[in-house]
């Protein structure tokens, strides 16, 4: 009898400790690299398993094919009505090898990014509808939208300004951004380069915890995507097609997992695979180069760039791959 009570208590503790599904807003530059497509597929994989609820998918790119590619992937996974927002006016534009082809070849009904509402409005509407301290935002992209969000004022969705709205509704932010280790030479790479002003604004003023995840060798150690080519699907898989186009000429059928790491951490947390470093803060220089400094400590800044001892990165890759093919039509 006592064992039964202990089991019941453990069961209750387990399900009260982490509320499932995790409510996620996904912010992406679905254009220059293809791991964004993999990360969004992975997020749908989590949603299919009941681990995540996708509240909104947002493009931080002015590339007009970024938002429709997001819509293609949402539609393929049976969630065609997830709100999509897009950065407006001042933003980063990068070319894409795959986004136009994917947007034209697969079902989507947004057309072009300019038809998507302003990212600010989507963020404000969606956040205002959620319970307090419940939303995880994951950005695998430029920080333009999140910087703009902090600058928004009260509107029809909420009487709160952006800073207060984020502080009230967001649990934490997961940000794929820099390189690691970072103490020696400033890292200059990827998502922090095109709009460093936004990165500094978000890193210095974002009112909740930020978990930074890093790329480079750490993300290269987790090769993912091959499984897309090995798994037959009833309907043509747009994520497989995006990887195929992107990897053509590279003479390989896998890719790094930078954006997938951030997405995994957003839904599952850092365990069991990754070490979470808490002491220090992420210093962002004016040009977007960055350095993890041990002092002073910023309790809101955490960083992930190393595997837990004993973890084989290929083991992580095979787990990530499982989520990548959690489509509805296998």
Q: Which residues are at the interface with Ca ion (CB under 5 A)?
A: 29, 36, 140-141, 259
Q: Put the strands of the sheet holding 84-86 in their side by side order.
A: 84-86, 52-59, 22-28, 135-140, 170-178, 209-214, 301-307, 274-277
Q: Tell me whether residue 26 or residue 46 sits nearer to Ca ion (CB atom).
A: 26
Q: In the bound complex, what is the minimum distance in angstroms from residue 30's beta carbon to Ca ion?
A: 8
Q: In the bound complex, what is the minimum distance in angstroms from residue 32's beta carbon to Ca ion?
A: 7
The residue with tokens 């319970």 is: 131
Q: In the bound complex, what is the minimum distance in angstroms from residue 172's beta carbon to Ca ion?
A: 19
Q: Tell me whether residue 238 or residue 280 sits nearer to Ca ion (CB atom).
A: 238
Q: In the bound complex, what is the minimum distance in angstroms from residue 14's beta carbon to Ca ion?
A: 33
Residue 79, CB-side half-sphere exposure with 13 Å CA sphere: 22
Q: Tell me whether residue 36 or residue 241 sits nearer to Ca ion (CB atom).
A: 36
Q: In the bound complex, what is the minimum distance in angstroms from residue 139's beta carbon to Ca ion?
A: 9
In the chain, beta strands by DSSP E: 22-28, 52-59, 84-86, 135-140, 170-178, 209-214, 274-277, 281-284, 290-293, 301-307
Q: Tell me whether residue 83 or residue 215 sits nearer to Ca ion (CB atom).
A: 215
**Residue 310, exposed/middle/buried by CB under 10 A (0-12, 13-18, 19+)?**
exposed
Q: At 92, give phi and psi (nearest 5°).
A: -90, 140
Structure tokens at 93: 């534009």
Q: How many CB atoms lie within 10 A of CB 74?
A: 23
Q: Tell me whether residue 158 or residue 263 sits nearer to Ca ion (CB atom).
A: 263
Q: In the bound complex, what is the minimum distance in angstroms from residue 110's beta carbon to Ca ion?
A: 19
């Amino acid at each position: 009898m006592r064992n039964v009570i202990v089991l019941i208590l453990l069961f209750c503790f387990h399900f009260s400790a982490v509320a499932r599904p995790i409510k996620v807003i996904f912010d992406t530059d679905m254009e220059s690299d293809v791991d964004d497509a993999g990360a969004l597929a992975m997020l749908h994989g989590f949603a299919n398993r009941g681990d995540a609820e996708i509240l909104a998918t947002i493009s931080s790119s002015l590339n007009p094919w970024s938002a429709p590619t997001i819509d293609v992937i949402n539609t393929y996974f049976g969630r065609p009505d997830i709100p999509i927002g897009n950065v407006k006016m001042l933003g980063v534009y990068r070319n894409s090898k795959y986004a136009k082809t994917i947007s034209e070849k697969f079902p989507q009904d947004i057309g072009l990014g300019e038809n998507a509402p302003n990212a600010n409005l989507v963020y404000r509407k969606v956040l205002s509808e959620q319970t307090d301290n419940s939303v995880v935002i994951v950005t695998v992209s430029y920080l333009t939208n999140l910087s703009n969000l902090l600058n928004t004022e009260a509107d029809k969705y909420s009487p709160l300004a952006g800073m207060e709205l984020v502080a009230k509704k967001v649990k934490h932010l997961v940000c794929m951004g820099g390189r690691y280790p970072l103490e020696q030479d400033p890292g200059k790479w990827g998502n922090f380069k095109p709009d460093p002003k936004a990165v500094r604004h978000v890193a210095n003023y974002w009112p909740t915890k930020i978990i930074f995840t890093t790329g480079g060798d750490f993300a290269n150690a987790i090769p993912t995507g091959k499984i897309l080519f090995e798994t037959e699907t009833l309907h043509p898989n747009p994520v497989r097609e995006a990887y195929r186009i992107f990897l053509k000429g590279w003479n390989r059928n896998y890719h790094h997992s930078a954006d997938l790491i951030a997405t995994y951490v957003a839904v599952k947390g850092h365990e069991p695979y990754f070490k979470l470093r808490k002491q220090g803060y992420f210093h962002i220089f004016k040009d977007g180069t960055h350095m993890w400094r041990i002092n002073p400590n910023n309790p809101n800044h955490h960083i992930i760039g190393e595997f837990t001892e004993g973890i084989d990165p290929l083991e992580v890759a095979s787990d990530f791959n499982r989520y990548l093919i959690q489509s509805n039509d296998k």
